[in-house]
Amino acid sequence: MPTDLDWKRLEQTLFQAYWNDAQAFLKAHPDQHVYAFALTEMYRELDGPIYLPVLAANSEEAYAELATDEGDRPDHLGHLRWNPPDWGWAFLGEDQRSPEVTAAEHMLIAEATRGSEAHWKRTEAKLLKLLVKISKALMKAAKQSEWHAQLTTDFIVWLSLQDDAEGVDIARQCLGTTRFVHLFTAHDAEALERRRVAAMPADMQLRYHLACLQGLPQESLGLSRERATSLREEAQDALHGLDGAAVSHALLPLLEQPNQQWRAAMMLAQIAYVDGDVIQALRTQVLKPVKNHLEEAGRSWCARALAALGDSSWLLGQLTSPSGLTPERVATGIAHLYHSWNSKPHTTPLALDYGPLEQALQHGALQKALEDELSPGCGYCILRNSDIDNALRGLHSPHALVRTHAAAIMGERGLGAHAGKRLTAALAHAVRHDVDHNVRFQSMLSLHDWKKTGCAYQDDVQHAALHDPHDAVREAATRWLQAFGEGLGQTP
C-alpha cells in the first residue's frame, strides 16, 4: 500500500526543528555548561497515535541545584542526572512548535494507523531508527557549532525512552557502545552479572533470585544486600523463567511472612502451577484473620492465586461456611480471572472461562462486590485467538456483567482479519439489540477499535446514533460514523 509519508523529508524537518531549539538554547544561556540534550516525552499508543518527542537540555549548574548527597552514582539512566523530566529545561520549543513539525506529526500518525497493528509496529521501528540517527546528527552539529565551548567533555545527545530495557538499548545505539559503557557503567555491570547468574546451575539460580526477591544477601553466591535489593523487580521476571514447580514450592515459606505474602501470592497466581501443597498453603493463609493493611493485601492476593489455580469453587463454598471469608474477599479472587493481571508479561496465560463468574453471580451477596471489581476501566484481560469462542459465548450470557466484560475485550484488532469478521458481527448485533446500555456502550467502543473492519455494520451504528436511548451510546456511535462512516447521511 502506498504511503504519503516522505521519511527523508521527515528526518530533515525534525533535525532542523530540534537543531533550531538547541541553537536558541545555547545562544540564550552562554553561562551554562551543557552536558546533555535529550529527545524525550515521546508518546506511543499501539495501533494509535505516535507523538513526537521534544528536546530537553541540562547543564552542570542546573544539575548541581538538583543533586543530593544520597551517594547514588550517576552511572545509570535512571539517575537524576539523566532523567529529562527533572532537568532545568525539559521542554525546549514546545510552545513554539513549527507548522512543519505539526504537519509532520499528523502525517506520521496517519501513516502508523492506516493499516494493521503489524504495520503500526513497523512504522514505530522505522521512526525509532530515524530518531537515533537524528540524535547522532544533533550531537555532531553541536560539537562543531560556534557554541562548542559551552559543552562539557562528556556532552551527549540521545533518545530517552521510559521503558527500561528499550531505553537502554536505544541509548546505546545513540551513543555507541564505547561512549555508553564509559558513562553508564552500571548497565554494563548488570549485563555481566546476568550472564554470570545464567551460567549457574538451576538450583543456585533459584536461591539467587529468591534472595533478591527478599532483598537478602547471599555471600556464597556473590550477592550483596545492596545488589539484592536493587534486583528485586528483576528477580520476579527471572523466577518466571525457571521451573514452575520448583519456584512455586520455594515461594510457600514466604506466604508466612507478612511483608512478603502479597508478592509470593501474586507470583503463585502468575505462575499458576497447581498441586495440593500450593492450594492448601493458599487456603490456610486466606482464612487467617487480618490485623493490618499489609496483611489485607496479602490475603487478597491469596484469594486471587486460588482462583488462578482453579480453586474458585472452594472460594465460593466459603460463603456458606463458618470460615469468616467475606464476600468482598471472594469477589476479589473470582474477579482476578478477568483482570489485566492475566495478560502481563511473565504470566502463565489463563484460558478465558466465564463459568466461575456466572456461578458467582448466582450468589446475591457477591453481585455488588463483583460489579465493583469488574467495573469498566478497572483493567480487563486481553483477548487471545484461543479465547474468541468463549468471548462470543460470553456476549450472550444472561448476566449483563459478563456481557459487558466480553464486549469490552473484543476490540483487539491485532487478532487479525478473520477474527475481526466474527467479532465485529457480534459487536454490531449487541449494539443494536442488547438490553443493557453498558453492554451496548462497550460494544460500540470495541467496534470503534476495529476501525473500518466494522464498516459492513454501518446501518447498525447509524441506528444507535439516532435511536439509542442512552446518551453515551449515541455519542460513541456518532464518533464512529464521523471517523469511519461511508456515503451520504453517515452522521446523524
pLDDT of residue 272: 95
pLDDT at site 213? 93
**Distance from C-alpha of 115 to C-alpha of 319, rounded to nearest angstrom:** 50
pTM: 0.81
pLDDT for residue 346: 85
pLDDT of residue 58: 97
Residues 6+ apart with CB under 8 A from 155: 34, 35, 36, 139, 142, 143
DSSP letters, 26-91, are HHH-TT--EEEEEEE--EE-TTS-EEPPEEEEEEHHHHHHH--SS---S-STTSGGG-GGGSSEEE
Q: Which residues pair with 156 in a beta bridge?
A: 36
**Of 295, 232, 228, the residue nearest 265 (C-alpha):** 295
Give the whole-angstrom CA distance, residue 83 versus residue 85: 6
**Residue 129 CB partners (closer than 8 Å, separation 6+):** none
Residues constituting the chain: 492
Question: Concatenated DSSP letters for 252-288?
Answer: GGGGGSTTTHHHHHHHHHHH----HHHHHHHHHHHTS
Question: Which residue's entry shows cell 457480534?
Answer: 426
Phi, psi of 26, deg, nearest 5: -60, -40
How far apart CA 98 and CA 66 sit, in angstroms, is 31
Q: Give the domains, in start order, of the chain with CATH numbers.
A: 7-191 (no CATH), 200-242 (no CATH), 243-382 (no CATH), 389-492 (1.25.10.10)
DSSP string of 287-330, one letter each residue:
TSPP-SHHHHHHHHHHHHHHHHTT-HHHHHHGGGSTT---HHHH
Nearest to 381 by CA among 359, 403, 360, 351: 351
Distance CA 127, CA 10 (A): 10
State in Å, rounded, how far the first CA of the chain is from the last one. Answer: 32
CA angle 408, 444, 434 (to 5 degrees): 85
Compute the distance between CA of residue 386 and CA of residue 376 in angstroms, rounded to an integer: 23
List C-alpha distances in Å: 157 to 36, 52, 124, 152.
6, 16, 20, 12
Cα distance between residue 90 and residue 84, in whole Å: 6
Task: Give the model's pLDDT for residue 68.
Answer: 67
Indicate left, alpha or beta for 201 from its phi (over 0: left) and psi (-120 to 50: alpha): beta
Phi-psi region of 93 (alpha: psi -120 to 50; beta: other; left: phi over 0): left
Instruction: Tell me the pLDDT of the chain (492 aa) as tens digits.
Output: 445 799 999 999 999 999 999 999 999 999 999 999 999 999 998 989 999 999 999 999 999 998 765 557 888 898 999 999 999 999 997 777 889 999 999 999 999 998 888 899 999 999 999 999 999 999 999 999 999 999 999 999 999 998 777 899 999 999 998 999 899 988 877 788 888 999 999 999 999 999 999 999 999 999 999 888 888 888 998 999 999 999 999 999 999 999 999 999 999 999 999 999 999 999 999 999 988 888 899 999 999 999 999 999 999 999 988 877 899 999 999 999 999 998 888 899 899 999 999 999 999 999 999 999 999 889 999 999 999 999 999 999 999 999 999 999 999 999 999 999 999 999 999 999 999 999 999 999 999 999 999 999 999 999 999 999 999 999 999 999 999 987 644 455
**C-beta atoms surrounding 203 within 10 Å:** 12
Give 351: exposed, middle or buried? Use CB within 10 Å, 0-12, 13-18, 19+. exposed
